[in-house]
A and B are shown apart, each in its own frame.
Chain A
Amino acid sequence: MNQQLKWAYNTFSGSFYNTFITFISLVIFGFIASNLVGFISTSEWAVVTENKRLLLVGRLPQGEEWRAWSILWISSFLIFSSLNIFVKPSIKELIFISVIFVSVCLIFITQDALFNVIIFTTLSLGSYLFAKYISQTPYITIFRKLLVFMWISIIPLMFLVLIIGDGPKPTLWGGFLLNIILAGVAISIGFPLGLLFALGRASQLPAVKIVCTIYIETIRGAPLVGWLLLAWFVLPKFLPEFWNLNETSVVIRAMIILSAFTSAYTAEVIRGGLQSIPKGQIEAADSLNLNLYTKLTLIILPQAIRVVIPALISTFIAVFKDTSLVFVLALTDILQVGRIIPEQDPQFFGKALEALSVVAFLFWIVSMALSNLSTRVERSMGIGTR
């Protein structure tokens, strides 16, 4: 106890400067906290509570919500069982996750969705406990493989759920659902593509190298909004006419552009990792007569990707946030919903701050989860660092 007191004294007021900084920090912290509490308690949250549906799924037609709910259920099973199997959170982290979970439920719960929310909550808790149980049985290896397989197939699965049985047109997808889908597609197509472009740019074959370099530099050379506008006006003229490809939905076009954008940025990040591999590693692999494929997949890439995980995840976070730029294609993602309602609905005039702060909160949760994942993955791969 004495020790802790001594530590606290030394840290917060050991010298004049420490005291000064402690004081300033306290003032700033108190100012922010009191404003925040004031804002939350005095604001009218009707703008959010009345428009939950728009914020979450946009203009998805009535009677099609089950599609969004099933996606949520599948992902809650995946997220919460993986949480136990792969992440093994501490008590502190569990409390943090529960607080976030409960606050999201509280913001978005409604009378008619109550039943769905209860299923969702039970499923989340159930899959966490189920994973905990199964990790003590010999089925753990099969379960692990199943989870990995499901993570890989989650994006096609989402599409299937959204399209199966005469689903709504993609242009009607909206709200947070649209952000999640766009980000999911952009990352899961952009990452493997970026890997190939990175390898291409590091290749010894001049033709491959030049093509990859031109691709990467062209995509990175213009802003994302520019590319999206290009997709809006120009892409249809370039796409072939058969299968009505030239009339593909703007959502698909947004996906193409976002994936291309992600691939260019990940390519550069991964190239940085490739350059960090000492020449000796390649020489050792060569002297052991490993072929190119083994050398890449078992020696070079595992080390290269491990080095760039923080940069990779921050690229992914950036892409996730960039999905809100699809408003230039007249799509209504969550940010757009949060912006439009206070402007156009007389009932909620001037409530932009409330709407936007909830939007920001949702973005923050996902980004936070991703960045936590990054530190986790880094730590778990950290064994045997040089």
Chain B
Amino acid sequence: MKNTSKKEIGKEIISTTDITKSFGKFQALKGITSKVFEKEVVVVFGPSGSGKSTYIRTLNRLEPHDSGQIIIDGVELNDDVKNLQHVRSNIGMVFQQFNLFPHLSVLRNITLAPQKVKGMKRSEADDIAMSLLKRVGIPEQADKFPSQLSGGQQQRLAIARALAMQPKIMLFDEPTSALDPEMIKEVLEVMTELAESGMTMICVTHEMGFAREVADRFLFFDEGLIVEEGTPDHFFNNPKEDRTKLFLSQIL
């Protein structure tokens, strides 16, 4: 159930104003206005094609938005490369397909970015990587290659890799959708621990049990718009919109 030790929600860290995005004729985002605060855990869900993945991918400009404004940690996200680097250095991302680097060992997967982007020494990066591997529970796998790990271990490695850059915000794009059922739990445990440690998180997920436990706020997407927004209690007890009710009845 909802963690009782209410954490302090901080100041505003992500603000999007009326952002749109089209792929050819298909309009994936039709004007999204949202705010996320420090230490907040926001769960984004909705039917497929509703724009939820596109939304979080615009936040670190994997998909450049067409119009509107995105401000992250006081910096506007636009064509300016300096701004982009500032934003990306503050955002970690975890993908549905893990996207680990298959030709690098588990340890190198984590240390690559700290060494190359932050100019960290190898020994220092190794130490950080080992402590992160301990945190996600796979320190004994350090010298293996990603393909030798189970799906759940791979996703935990992906989380560790993103955390190595010490981001202020973590984005999760359906992190458990490519996993076998018995492996979902181990990944969700890591995510729960992360949420409790006060990380600002935006998760696209349909794991409603997890969402209900850790989320501070839900965003329900449909057809490129935020249809309904509120606390988990609001969604589970009395959702207002018909589309929300219909969707919840299908997935619960």
A290 in the interface, Cβ–Cβ < 8 Å? Answer: yes
**Given A287-B62, A289-B113; A386-B102 close (CB under 8 Å):** yes
Docked complex Cα distance between A337 and B105 (Å)? 51
Docked complex Cα distance between A294 and B118 (Å)? 12
**Given A288-B165, A384-B145, A386-B147; A299-B88 close (CB under 8 Å):** no
| A299 nearest CB neighbor, chain B only | B101
| B60 nearest CB neighbor, chain A only | A287
Contact B105–A384 (Cβ < 8 Å): yes
| A306 nearest CB neighbor, chain B only | B103
Closest approach, in angstroms, between the C-beta of A71 and any C-beta of chain B?
A: 35
Contact B117–A288 (Cβ < 8 Å): yes
Docked complex Cα distance between A383 and B105 (Å)? 9
Q: Which chain B residues (164-190) contact chain A, with CB distance < 8 Å?
A: 165
Docked complex Cα distance between A386 and B165 (Å)? 25
**Given A287-B60, A289-B117; A385-B147 close (CB under 8 Å):** yes
Chain A residues in 8 Å Cβ range of B101: 281, 284, 299, 303
Chain A residues in 8 Å Cβ range of B102: 303, 384-386
Chain A residues in 8 Å Cβ range of B60: 286-287
B22 in the interface, Cβ–Cβ < 8 Å? Answer: no
In the complex, per-residue mask of A375-386: 1 if CB is within 8 Å of any chain B CB, else 0? 000000101111
A14 in the interface, Cβ–Cβ < 8 Å? Answer: no
| B106 nearest CB neighbor, chain A only | A384
Chain A residues in 8 Å Cβ range of B99: 278, 280-281, 283-284
Contact B97–A384 (Cβ < 8 Å): no
Docked complex Cα distance between A103 and B35 (Å)? 78
A95 in the interface, Cβ–Cβ < 8 Å? Answer: no
Docked complex Cα distance between A332 and B209 (Å)? 78
Closest approach, in angstroms, between the C-beta of A92 and any C-beta of chain B?
A: 29
**Given A287-B60, A288-B161, A290-B116; A384-B95 close (CB under 8 Å):** no
Contact B103–A289 (Cβ < 8 Å): no
Closest approach, in angstroms, between the C-beta of A378 and any C-beta of chain B?
A: 13
| B81 nearest CB neighbor, chain A only | A291
Closest approach, in angstroms, between the C-beta of A281 and any C-beta of chain B?
A: 6
Q: What are 16 contact pairs spanning A and B, CB under 8 A?
A: A278-B97, A278-B99, A281-B99, A284-B99, A284-B100, A286-B62, A288-B88, A288-B161, A289-B89, A294-B116, A294-B117, A299-B101, A302-B103, A303-B101, A384-B102, A384-B146
Residues of B within 8 A of A (CB): 60, 62, 85, 88-89, 91-93, 95, 97, 99-105, 112-113, 116-117, 145-148, 161-162, 165
Residues of A within 8 A of B (CB): 278, 280-281, 283-284, 286-291, 294, 298-299, 302-303, 306, 381, 383-386
